[in-house]
Amino acid sequence: MENKNQSVGIVRTEFYTIDEKIQFECGVNFGPITVAYETYGQLNETKDNAILIVHALTGDAHAAGYHSESDKKPGWWDTMIGPDKAFDTNKYYVICSNILGGCSGTTGPSSINPETNEPYGTSFPVFTIEDTVKVQKKLIDFLGVKGIYTVAGGSMGGMQAMQFVISFPSMVKSAVLIATTSRLSPQAIAFNAVGRNSIISDPNWNNGNYYNKENKPDRGLSNARMIGHITYLCEEAMYNKFGRRLQNKNHYDFNFDIDFQVESYLQHQGQIFVDRFDANSYLYITKAVDYFDLEEKYGSLQNAFKNSNAKYLIISFDSDWLFPSSQSKEIVNTLMQLGKDVSYCEIKSPCGHDAFLLEYDVQSKIIKSFLNEHIEGNYYE
């Protein structure tokens, strides 16, 4: 465990239930919704030093710290959240919640429908990124937050951050958008489609009604994760990590068992994923990502951001081929055309899309500079 002075320490996941129904973009009024969340640091007297952290596709509310003294693995962005870190809990009140439709405490397909006392399964309504932001806003209001100093996230988290700024422009002072896009490319949609098809084609999926069954669609979910994981890396990362090295052998077996280290790695990633994630949640969340398209939704990117008063920091990575730098630059150019305050940095990294989780040293310096100098210096003007 890291030095306790560098960590937020032992944390606890909390739960808040939204009793009223929320109208989803699909037209369904849905509720109640329970939201799993964690907070780090203290809310100030004016209740406007909050930082909202929004997670990527398969993340959860546990962004920093440890759940127990024996917990060996900290939150997924622990390198970025804590005392004197990029998101400094000595200064800010940091909030992270599990996404709507998730399977780590927030209401989703695996949750019990109070009207039937059975899991929702595929009767859960299809939702969008905007719907997830509506839920996050309800949580923010419950916590008493009056102003959000910044909303920050990578990948799908960046999508949520953009939508939050657009939906609630008067509440957000700044946004940190990392390795993200204003809309998925056809190629990215295609990878999600193959992953979903892998789950739906699993004979144990049973039209989403597998929760009370002995066998679940683990093979399909594992394969979906393997497919997704390929997109998180890049060719350089794969060569550096695996090359064409064989797995525990010196020659080919001339059968269809695992020969290469990269095969073994992907199989391992798939196997551990099924222990912590729900197949239906994967279907719903990837569909929400596919539907995210600010240009289509608002007529143009200019229309999407025109009412925003936030300052922006946008970070991309040169080896990210899932959400390449060109997509970040499109957002940057739009904000510049609108006369918005935007800073942009492309980081050189061999880590591919996963760089937003791995390249914490350089990201921390950039983000701390943005928050402390670019934003805080004008905070009380």
* Per-domain boundaries in the chain: 4-183+294-378, 189-285
- Cα 308 to Cα 5, 153, 163, 166: the distances in Å are 37, 18, 11, 6
3-state secondary structure of 112: strand
pLDDT at position 6 is 79
Is 229 designated active site?
Answer: no
- Interval 210-225: pLDDT, tens: 999 999 999 999 999 9
- Select which of 174, 281, 353, 354 is catalytic: 353
Over 80: is that where the pLDDT of 290 sits? yes
- Select which of 155, 308, 316, 328 is catalytic: 155
Of the options 3.10.450.40, 3.40.1160.10, 3.40.50.1820, 3.40.50.720, the CATH number for the domain spanning 4-183+294-378: 3.40.50.1820
Q: Are strands 87-88 and 81-82 parallel, antiparallel or unpaired?
A: parallel
pLDDT at position 160 is 98
Of the options 1.10.1740.110, 2.60.40.730, 3.30.310.10, 1.20.5.50, the CATH number for the domain spanning 189-285: 1.10.1740.110
**Per-residue exposure over 322-344, b if at least 16 CB sit within 10 Å of its own CB, e if not:** bbbbebbeebbebbeebebebbb
pLDDT at position 5 is 57
Average pLDDT value over all residues in the chain: 95
CB 44 within 8 A of CB 103: no
pLDDT at position 351 is 95
Is 185 designated active site?
Answer: no
- Select which of 316, 320, 349, 354 is catalytic: 320
* Rounded distance between C-alpha atoms, residue 121 and residue 205, angstroms: 10
CB 129 within 8 A of CB 29: no
**Per-residue exposure over 119-149, b if at least 16 CB sit within 10 Å of its own CB, e if not:** bbbbebbbbbbbbbbbbbbbbbeebebeebb
pLDDT grade for 379, boundaries at 50, 70 and 90: very low
Please state the rounded mean pLDDT for residues 304-327.
Answer: 97
pLDDT at position 47 is 97
Over 70: is that where the pLDDT of 296 sits? yes
pLDDT grade for 100, boundaries at 50, 70 and 90: very high
Q: Which two tokens stand for residue 317?
A: 């990575």
pLDDT at position 286 is 98
Over 70: is that where the pLDDT of 54 sits? yes
pLDDT at position 1 is 44
Is 308 designated active site?
Answer: no
Over 70: is that where the pLDDT of 26 sits? yes
Q: If you count DSSP H runs as helices and E runs as strands, how many of each does the chain have, helices first?
A: 12, 14
C-alpha dihedral (327, 332, 336, 339), degrees to nearest 10: 120
Please state the rounded mean pLDDT for residues 118-137.
Answer: 98
pLDDT at position 380 is 37
Share of the chain above pLDDT 90, in %: 95
Phi and psi torsions of 345, nearest 5°: -145, 125
